Amino acid sequence: MKRYRALILLSAAILLAAHGGGARENIHVEEVTMHLMDGSATFELNYSLDAFTRLYVLALGCRSLEPELASILCGYRDVRLIRADLNRAALLVGDAARYNGGYYLFESRPFGYGIPRFTVVYPDGQARTYYNVTSTQDVFCTER
């Protein structure tokens, strides 16, 4: 029985690879929260996976989602997966801001596609929420 289950999971993984598709088709992002920290930012993503992708992740683990999750933050170069599960992930962006005279400037960067709800959380705990966005917002904060 275990052998059949493994064969089914392997077949599903092969179908998913043959199906191809990008993050838009496989991962449906519902919300992104950007936590500002000096010159870096942590992005928390809440999403749902299509059936094939869910099966693929169950077979190979959440680390297999890293390229698709990083493609959502396509405007950044230094994107690292911190953690992920079937419904959410956290990504660290090291080059998110530019330092200028006591302030960190987080310039607007595009997402891989539209995000229904985007929240920016400042170091002091204040938060601003934006709806139906295709990029991050231009924001700045003081150094800690």
Over residues 52-77, the pLDDT tens digits come to 888 888 888 888 888 989 999 998 98
Specify the pairing of strand 127-135 against strand 110-121.
Answer: antiparallel
Answer yes or no: is 104 within a domain.
yes
Answer yes or no: is 126 within a domain.
yes
- pTM value is 0.81
Answer yes or no: is 35 within a domain.
yes
Rounded Cα distance between 79 and 143, Å, is 22
pLDDT (average), residues 27-32 = 95
What's the confidence (pLDDT) of residue 79?
A: 93
Answer yes or no: is 68 within a domain.
yes
Q: Are 89 and 108 in contact (CB under 8 A)?
A: no
Answer yes or no: is 103 within a domain.
yes
Rounded Cα distance between 108 and 136, Å, is 5
Answer yes or no: is 19 within a domain.
no
Over residues 103-119, the pLDDT tens digits come to 999 999 999 889 999 99
Q: Which domain holds residue 128?
A: 24-48+61-142
Rounded Cα distance between 58 and 140, Å, is 39
Answer yes or no: is 80 within a domain.
yes
Q: How many domains does the chain have?
A: 1
